[in-house]
Amino acid sequence: MSDPTISVQSLCKKFVTGDTEVEVLRDISTDIESGHFVCVLGASGAGKTTLLHILGTLLRPTSGKIFYNGRDVFKSSERELIGLRNRLIGFVFQFHHLLPEFSAQENVAMPLLIRRTAPDEALRKADSLLERVGLGHRLRHRPCELSFGEQQRVAVARALVGDPDVILADEPTGNLDQETGRQIFSLLTEMTVSRGKVLVVVTHNLELASSADQVLKIGTERHVSAQP
């Protein structure tokens, strides 16, 4: 049997703030196969974004491991992790994190430009994805000149442009009307799950969750303790 694309083993995350330690994720284990759509559910503050950041190697767990195609990712150096993220992972952040001084088109092209794709080609691919998310008429707008939902769609286009094996999307349709949300979600699945890639979506949308191959429920029970 081949390795699953992502294997999460006994993942724990604690944050220490002052003399208070908060256990956000406790003992999470799961295997995610290629071509699977995974929904992460949980109340506000439950740890969904924290989990996504750890899956995306942006944050190290307190304990536990994550394997990507059999490789123990947190054994890699920071430099190797940057390479892995750029090659394998596309992020749609909860608060988008678009670069404010760049246009929508430049923001979407950025992952390709970082990989040293020729600028003409990078911009052409960015335009085509922005068309797909319904923003062909907003190519030159900067993030502050776009609505929140439009920024979200730019973030989706940016996550998809590099054709990553894994998309990690934090409430990617949270600010969209139902119809636009459906279109964006079907674009996400078409570009990932339908092509044997992994899509992990944080959502409060139970209808969406009912179509998932796997649902990860993050609990709100917390262990808060004062440090000795």
- Name which position in 26, 32, 36, 47 contacts ligand ATP (CB under 6 A): 47
Q: How far is the CB of 71 from Mg ion (least distance, A)?
A: 27
Which two three-digit tokens encode residue 186? 């079907």
How far apart CA 4 and CA 206 sit, in angstroms, is 26
* Residue 11 touches which of Mg ion, ligand ATP, none (Cβ within 5-8 Å per kind): none
Cβ proximity to ligand ATP, 4 vs 47, nearer residue: 47
* Residue 77 touches which of Mg ion, ligand ATP, none (Cβ within 5-8 Å per kind): none
- Name which position in 5, 7, 26, 50 contacts ligand ATP (CB under 6 A): 50
Q: How far is the CB of 55 from ligand ATP (least distance, A)?
A: 12
Site membership for ligand ATP, residue 197 (CB under 6 A): no
* Residue 138 touches which of ligand ATP, Mg ion, none (Cβ within 5-8 Å per kind): none
Which region among 39-47, 78-86, 137-145, 151-159 touches ligand ATP (by CB under 6 A)? 39-47
Asked if residues 166 and 89 have their Cβ atoms less than 8 Å apart, the reply is: yes
Which amino acid is present at 116? Answer: R
Of residues 15-34, those binding ligand ATP (CB under 6 A): 15, 17, 22, 24
* Residue 47 touches which of Mg ion, ligand ATP, none (Cβ within 5-8 Å per kind): ligand ATP
How far apart CA 188 and CA 158 sit, in angstroms, is 12
Of residues 55-94, those binding ligand ATP (CB under 6 A): 94
* Residue 42 touches which of ligand ATP, Mg ion, none (Cβ within 5-8 Å per kind): ligand ATP
Within 13 Å, how many C-alpha atoms sit on residue 83's CB side?
Answer: 6
Residue 6 contacts by C-beta under 8 Å, 6 or more apart in sequence? 31, 32, 55, 66, 67, 68, 166, 198
- Name which position in 27, 29, 30, 45 contacts ligand ATP (CB under 6 A): 45
Q: Which residues bind ligand ATP (CB under 6 A)?
A: 15, 17, 22, 24, 42, 44-50, 94
